[in-house]
Amino acid sequence: MRRRLRTIVVSAVWLAVLSSATLVSQTAIAGACITPQHLQINSVKKHFSQERHLSGVDNPLKSEGQLELTEDRITWHMTAPFDVETIITSQGITQSIDGGPAEPTADIAGLGPKIASLFASLLKGRWNELNATFNVVQKPVAEGSPWAVSLQTIDPKLAEAISQIEVEGCTDISTIKIMHKNGDYELIRFDPGSASTP
């Protein structure tokens, strides 16, 4: 039972970490937003909520937790409905369930290191580091308004799992929507939290 739970959770976290249909509206006041090109973040600590929408399933699978990002480490701690802490570093990805010992996760399709690097670049707003894998396009918006960036996958191997990522924000990233080739998608919303810029 524990092995089965780990398999389910690992799969869900991988999809999220690379981790919405409608992106969440920004609550920021017009004129207060920076452009995504100026979004350079070194560290983040904030709460997230996630919805995983699966084809043929009426209701989304919901989870929530805490994201903490530093220069060399990402901690994705899901606290509900399960307690699962995923830690991503340049050395690899580990996961612990219910406070248990950290164990290496399976390297799905050999994409482990790449996913770790992409997720770090995405959360830090380092769009240039994503150009080799995605066609990065900023959607036109009025100056100072909330922005949206579309990342269309151009890497053939990654495209088998993820077709497109939509990112929305203002002075930070607030929403990420991850779309898959089979029609499934994840919607991740971040509550306002602390973000340290260079």
88-142: pLDDT as tens digits:
887 778 899 999 999 987 665 556 667 778 888 888 889 999 999 999 999 888 8
Domain ranges of the chain: 2-196
Instruction: Tell me if residue 100 falls in helix, strand or coil.
Output: coil
Is the domain covering 2-196 a CATH 2.50.20.10 domain? Answer: yes
- Per-residue confidence (pLDDT) for residue 109, from 0 to 100: 55
Q: Of 3-7, 61-65, 141-145, which one has max mean pLDDT?
A: 61-65
- Per-residue confidence (pLDDT) for residue 14, from 0 to 100: 45
Reported residue count of the chain is: 198
- Considering all CA atoms of the chain, what is the largest pairwise distance in Å, rounded to the nearest integer? 52
CA distances from 12 to 61, 78, 140 (A): 10, 11, 32
Rounded CA-CA distance 163/30 in Å is: 31
Rounded CA-CA distance 41/39 in Å is: 6
41-87: pLDDT as tens digits:
888 889 999 999 999 999 999 999 999 988 888 899 999 999 999 98
Predicted confidence (pLDDT) at residue 36 exceeds the cutoff of 50: yes
- Evaluated on CA atoms 141, 42, 150, 85, the torsion sign reads negative
What pairs with residue 169 in β-bridges?
A: 147, 173
- Per-residue confidence (pLDDT) for residue 178, from 0 to 100: 94
In this predicted structure, which of 11-15, 69-73, 153-157 has the lowest mean pLDDT? 11-15
- Per-residue confidence (pLDDT) for residue 197, from 0 to 100: 57
Q: Which of 135, 151, 176, 169 is nearest to 39 (CA)?
A: 169
